[in-house]
Amino acid sequence: MSREKSPSMAEEEKVYVAVPAEPREGQSTLSWALGHLSGGGATTIVVTHVHVPPQTIPIMGVKFHVSKMGAEQVRQFRKVERQKADDMLDDYVRRCSEIKVKCEKLVIEKEDAVSGLVELIRLHGITKLVVAAAADRHYSKKLVKPVSRTATEIMQRADPSCKIWFVCKEQLICIRDNQAVQIAESASQLQEDETTETETGLLYDELQKAVEELMGRALKEFHRHQQAQEAAASSLQKAKAYEELYLEEVRKREELEAALARADGEIARLWRTFHRPTEGPETGGFDLGTTAWRGQPAEPW
């Protein structure tokens, strides 16, 4: 007859929490797991990280691809980055220890984070995993499913035996259990509210679109009217300028005609003066007809 295991002999339960390379991004994911899945002394939190070797090396503010660098330089740089990842996980372990929660760390190096997590699930038989559905800065009450590439692909590719909690900013977004996705209760209620909001939003969007179209047509009509006014004003200015030029030409022509009239009068007066009757010989004088002074005989040509 088999003996029933005592609580102390019970198999230890492990909850794996996937954390990214950025420490701040993994804080809220771990906090949710500690608050909801770490109950009981038999539960161990395993902070899990897929270390993706960096493909660029920053030098003097410029990033160079590893293919352009020496092998030893690449090796040393990646060694430092791997140590940073280990230190980050150690900080998570220390935090759990401070609140009396059993914690371990698990790291795998892979060129792709999703492939690394899928491999860890298979190798370690992971049945409970907590993953960030999105970065905390993308959290919204309307968030009901994973939106990050890593979370979306994990939902699709992870072994069906692994139950996955997707969280964001310490809020449960949804649960994948045996490939079935369960939306969090608050999110489910929100979805119902969103249906009405969506319908109202669609109507509002249609009205907004119609208003924008009307405003667009009105604005185009206003611009055409304004352009026509500007063209008319320009034409009036040109017409006024031409009129002023014409009046100036008329004035100059009148002045010229008046000057010509005065010249004609002066010529006529001179003509009359030179064609007066000749005076007698006794008075003397210049005879226009003979080109000689009167009283003197004219010399022959």
> Which three-class secondary structure state does DSSP give residue 287?
strand
What's the confidence (pLDDT) of residue 248?
Answer: 87
Instruction: Tally the C-alpha atoms within 13 A of residue 142's C-alpha that lie toward its C-beta.
Output: 6
Is 185 within 8 Å of 155 (Cβ atoms)?
no
Residue written as token pair 């002999």: 9
Q: What is the pLDDT along the chain (301 residues), one digit of tens a residue?
A: 444 444 444 467 899 999 988 777 789 999 999 999 887 667 899 999 999 999 999 888 888 998 989 999 999 999 999 999 899 999 999 999 999 999 999 999 999 999 999 999 999 999 999 999 999 898 988 899 999 999 999 999 999 999 999 999 999 999 998 767 666 554 445 445 544 554 555 566 677 777 777 777 877 887 787 787 787 778 778 877 888 888 888 888 888 888 888 888 888 888 888 877 655 555 444 454 544 445 555 455 4
Half-sphere exposure of 87 (CA within 13 A, CB side): 7
pLDDT at residue 281, as a whole number = 52
Q: What's the DSSP call for residue 264?
A: H
**Angstrom distance (rounded) from CA 193 to CA 197:** 6
Per-residue pLDDT, 1 = 42
Q: Which residue has the tokens 């000057």?
A: 259
Q: How many CB atoms lie within 10 A of CB 85?
A: 20
Write phi, then psi, for 140 (nearest 5 degrees).
-150, 150
Question: What pLDDT does 228 receive?
Answer: 79
Helices (H) and strands (E) in the chain, counts: 5, 11
For residue 293, what pLDDT is reported? 46
Q: Both tokens of residue 190?
A: 């929100």
